[in-house]
Amino acid sequence: MDTPTILVLTTGGTIDKNYFDALSEYQIVDSGIPALLREARVALPFRVVEVCRKDSLELTDADRADIARHAAEASETQIVITHGTDTMTETAKALAGVPGKTIVLTGALSPARFAETDAGFNLGMAFAAAQVAAPGVYIAMSGQLFDGLKVRKDRAAGRFVALD
């Protein structure tokens, strides 16, 4: 376990939703991921790149291709991707062809700006998994590290569950 460099790609999603009184609505904003990493006192080298800033229901095939291109072309082999939860499994499929990299998708069911949120825990899972898991695509949600191609979101239950 050498000191690794981790690439964090941000794409939007609930984890980065804020509420704007001036508009009386929620919007995805400047990513709070760098602030979360400071709060977590991450001393490991990392690099944060914003790929897009969308609710994951709005991500297009072109967006997913762009995310995969960022992952494939990066010099880092340990990659964390923050992402909306609704289509996280779709993006996992788009990343399946990227060779030689450990890619971990994560997000949150409750915005990082909330007093109570799963954002920090999930990001911590993704950081650890990126460092230690074999190359491949993973999803870190609901306290569990899933094979990214064998998992679905159970929206009603508010959790991710493994496919048989």
Shortest Å, Cβ 9 to a copy of itself: 17
Segment contacting a copy of itself by CB under 8 A, of 67-75, 91-99, 138-146: 138-146
Helix axis angle for 88-95 and 61-73, nearest 10°, is: 50
164 binds a copy of itself (CB under 8 A): no
Sequence-distant (6+) residues with CB within 8 A of 40 are 120, 123, 124
110 binds a copy of itself (CB under 8 A): yes
1 binds a copy of itself (CB under 8 A): yes
30 binds a copy of itself (CB under 8 A): no
Out of 5, 53, 124, 149, the only residue in the binding site for a copy of itself (CB under 8 A) is: 124
Sequence-distant (6+) residues with CB within 8 A of 14 are 55, 84, 85, 107, 108, 109, 110, 111
Gap between the Cα atoms of 58 and 53, Å rounded? 10
Q: SS3 for 120?
A: helix
Residue ranges in contact with a copy of itself by CB under 8 A: 1, 3-4, 14, 17, 19, 21-22, 24-26, 36-37, 39-44, 46, 55, 57, 85-86, 109-111, 113-118, 120-129, 131-133, 140, 142-147, 155-156, 158-162
